[in-house]
Amino acid sequence: MPLPEPVPDLGALDLLVTVGELGSISAAAEAHGVTQPAASMRLRQLERVLGLQLLERVRTGSRLTPAGAATAEWAGAVLREMRALLGGADALRRDQRSHLRLAASLTVAEYLIPGWLRHLADDLPGVGVALEMGNTAHVADMVSGGRVELGFIEGPRPPGQLRSRDLRPDELVIVVGRGHPWARRRRPVTPAEVAATPLLAREHGSGTRDVLAAALAEHGLEMRTSMELGSTTAIKAAVAGGGSPAVLSALSVGVELRAGQLQQVACTGLHLERTIRAIWAGGRALSAPAARLVAIASAQAP
């Protein structure tokens, strides 16, 4: 139920309580850091709002009338609750500043975020972190919806409705298993060959998929898929097991290439580079932990 209008000024109620405690308006004004005329004006306004005489002049200063004493007692309870509310809100703000909610696309979450968070823990050891993972579109949605403060994505372009900072380039490479015919060819594959070959790919909304689709579209081509899988790890396993080729981040396949489980295939004519970005909602400054994490990510760019 809404409060009736007009509502008494909390500052004036606080002054009234202090007048009752100290015995004069001048002493209460000094305690509150205001002038005596300003204090007197606020108390007169309080009397008008309540329709009561709260103070009476005496030789030694001012004292509360019976109505003023009753009002001061009720006001004391209101002020105690207000101080509890303000103290609780401050505690919540401090807790939010020490807890960072972020989201990252799978490639960034698996291959970059762990190192960044180690540095953040060294710089701000009291900060807790909650990390959610998803494809680029899902991460952008979480940031836009306020479910996380900060996101890390990859793709050909930043989301238009969010603020962003470019962190580093990320090259995409074509990989096949050791038994695939492309593993033995000596000349690079062409955009037309890539478009004509069904690929193992991530789902729609993936930054990796978006970059490949955009690169093929520059040649008037469309990608074909043999299977869509929801994780880079699953795609790598399927490729190594003899499945179709895949286009993946170079960050994600280094171990498998060095071990000989996958083989990189050269390609000519396709622009397969994307940008890894930090994204956050506009209209408000990043918290100290979020700003520090962005600075760490920027400093570690190759």
**pLDDT classification of 35: cutoffs 50, 70, 90:** very high
In this prediction, residue 282 carries a pLDDT of 83
226-277 pLDDT tens trace: 999 988 899 999 999 998 999 999 999 999 999 999 999 999 999 899 899 9
In this prediction, residue 89 carries a pLDDT of 64
Using alpha carbons, list the distances in angstroms from residue 249 to 69, 170, 212, 238, 299: 74, 7, 11, 16, 21
**pLDDT classification of 284: cutoffs 50, 70, 90:** confident
Helices marked H in the chain: 10-22, 25-32, 36-50, 66-97, 106-111, 113-123, 136-144, 191-196, 207-217, 232-240, 250-259, 288-299
The matching CATH number, chosen from 1.10.530.10, 3.40.190.290, 3.30.1370.60, 3.40.640.10, for 100-295 is 3.40.190.290
- The residue extents of the domains of the chain are 10-95, 100-295
Task: Confirm whether pTM is higher than 0.75.
Answer: no
Just give the CATH number of 10-95: 1.10.10.10
116-173 pLDDT tens trace: 999 999 988 888 899 999 988 899 999 998 899 999 998 777 777 889 999 999 999 9
Long-range contacts: 270-273, Cβ < 8 Å, 24+?
A: 270/191, 270/194, 270/212, 270/215, 270/216, 270/219, 271/215, 271/218, 272/171, 272/172, 272/173, 272/174, 272/211, 272/212, 272/215, 272/247, 273/169, 273/170, 273/171, 273/172, 273/211
| Mean confidence (pLDDT) of the chain | 89
168-200 pLDDT tens trace: 999 999 999 999 999 998 999 999 999 999 999
**pLDDT classification of 95: cutoffs 50, 70, 90:** low
Does the pLDDT of residue 96 top 70, yes or no? no
